[in-house]
Structure 1
Amino acid sequence: MSETSLIERQLASGVLTLRMNRPEKKNALNRAMYGALAEALEGANADEAVRAVLLLGGEGHFSSGNDIADFAGFDAKAGLAEVLRFLHALVDLEKPLVAGVDGLAVGIGTTVLFHCDLAYATPRSSFRTPFLDLGLVPEAGSSLLAPGLMGHQRAFALLVLGEALSAEEALATGLLVGVGDEAEALARDAVVRLAAKPPEALRIARRLMRGDGAAVRARIEDEAAAFAERLVSAEARAAFAAFFDRRAR
């Protein structure tokens, strides 16, 4: 495992731990990171030694969302290939997925949690999806999954209005299963317990509870088409320019 790797991987006790490792960018995801995450999840499905997957970020920043500089260069849906590969890998994953969050969870840092079977966070964590502020639209199937989890109005406030959720609010909506100062330890304890269960029974139980992923896959594709279109819109270009201007000051 390279110290310079954007995604650190470790397999122990049947748990594949994936840690986003781009601290200088608060774990903003670029295309290379999406590709690495997709490869890891696809590999987890094929590896009988992997019983469950744990997704972690860094101290104070789970993920600050998409790397705007990376996305500003996209000019076609082909530019979203790595993103789509990762999102489909999330839907196709047959092993339990558990997350431990500390601090910022922005954009995909929040929407990835809709695909987790269990997610824990520290009290200082916050969850925000500023898609509309960037002239974009929700992604990762969140436009389907969020209303089903928290109802239309709460989901609309999160995904469209751009209101942030505190850790306690995220717990109340069902986005999280637990909040604690040692969220990573809570997540690790849960995922180790899952990995120790009979694997075939675990796989079947998870499939029964999650149901057919066809609707989620279809929504991801619909969102991606709209997202790609929005990336080259005048609204998005103006929002990106304003973002870079603020950062340069």
Structure 2
Amino acid sequence: MTDHILIERPETHPGVLVIRFNRPDKKNAITSAMYRAMVAGLHEAGQDASIKAVAFLGTEGCFSAGNDMADFLSFAMSGSSEPPAAVDLLKVLASYGKPLVSGVDGLAIGIGTTLHMHCDMTVASTRSLFKTPFVDLALVPEAASSLLAPRMMGHQRAFALLAAGEGFSAEQAREAGLIWKVVAPEEVEMETLKLAAALAAKPAGALKIARDLVRGSTEEVLARIDAEMLHFSAQLRSAEARAAFEAFMRRGK
């Protein structure tokens, strides 16, 4: 486990397990170790009958800036044939059997945006920004977002988010169907936990059936994650991606 991911069971909200990003100095950028910690937390919740819902939260002013670029580049340059640790998380999310909710305050970049496409309800603060700069890094959409986003928001909005790299405000994200509710920054955690606790209190069997019917085919989503990753891996090794990463790192310095 890493202390950059906190696994919490709030006494005030029984039946809820919280997975919290806790790396504010790096804008909650996600490392391989953090992905593995989140997978472990989800497995823990999945195997515990007392946990009825899982909530994802970030820190004040930032949900997540997406992949940690140094960690990501290290993996890319390793030449490993194994899929990135993020893929394990995405597949667990896509096939998860319990309700998933999330609360966003501030930045939600890359997988910090696409993660919410696997959540059942998301609360965001008025100052939140959703953005996926995949193409700007010469990469392609991931997390089955190329399948889920057009279903949620139609072609034009999905293209704007995933291909054009346009940022969505909280209100634009709500209008697009990416999130459920917009609240003040200081209300995000309270509203997210309240949603999770309300779901946890419902008849679990009926809720699972309703959720499965609404979410549809898991197999289709898992297949799209694999298809996207083939393109993602190929692009990761491309000359244009190398140039984009080098430019990104120079800007960072």
The alignment's TM-score, normalised by the length of structure 2, stands at 0.94
Query: Any unmatched runs of 5+ in structure 2?
Result: none
- List aligned pairs for 1:1-249, cutoff 5 A: 5-12=3-10, 13-73=14-74, 74-75=76-77, 76=79, 78-181=81-184, 182-248=187-253
User: What is the percentage of aligned positions where both structures have the same residue?
Assistant: 51
Amino acid at match of 1:149: M
1:224 positional shift: 0.9
Is the Cα contact below 8 Å between 1:128 and 1:163 reproduced in 2? yes
1:97-142 deviation per Cα after TM superposition (whole angstroms, max 9, x unaligned): 0000000000000000100100010000010000000010000000
1:141-160 deviation per Cα after TM superposition (whole angstroms, max 9, x unaligned): 00000001000111001100
1:175-212 deviation per Cα after TM superposition (whole angstroms, max 9, x unaligned): 11100111221111111111111222221221121122
Query: Any unmatched runs of 5+ in structure 1?
Result: none
Aligned pairs, how many? 246
- Aligned-residue Cα RMSD (Å) equals 1.3
The alignment's TM-score, normalised by the length of structure 1, stands at 0.95
1:43 positional shift: 2.3
Q: Structure 1 CA distance, aligned partners of 2:106 and 2:23?
A: 14
Q: Structure 2 CA distance, aligned partners of 1:72 and 1:126?
A: 24
Q: Structure 2 CA distance, aligned partners of 1:70 and 1:189?
A: 34
SS of the aligned residue for 1:49 comes to: coil
Is the Cα contact below 8 Å between 1:72 and 1:237 reproduced in 2? no
1:237 positional shift: 0.9
Is the Cα contact below 8 Å between 1:121 and 1:184 reproduced in 2? no
SS of the aligned residue for 1:55 comes to: strand
Q: Structure 2 CA distance, aligned partners of 1:130 and 1:242?
A: 14
SS of the aligned residue for 2:166 comes to: coil
Q: Structure 2 CA distance, aligned partners of 1:237 and 1:134?
A: 9
Q: Structure 1 CA distance, aligned partners of 2:117 and 2:206?
A: 23
1:81 positional shift: 3.8
Q: Structure 1 CA distance, aligned partners of 2:139 and 2:80?
A: 14
Amino acid at match of 1:89: V
Q: 1:78 to 1:57 in 2, by over 3 A?
A: farther
1:44 positional shift: 1.8
1:79 positional shift: 4.7
Amino acid at match of 2:69: I
Q: Is 97-106 or 209-218 further displaced after alignment?
A: 209-218
SS of the aligned residue for 1:65 comes to: coil
Amino acid at match of 2:60: E
Q: Structure 2 CA distance, aligned partners of 1:50 and 1:203?
A: 13
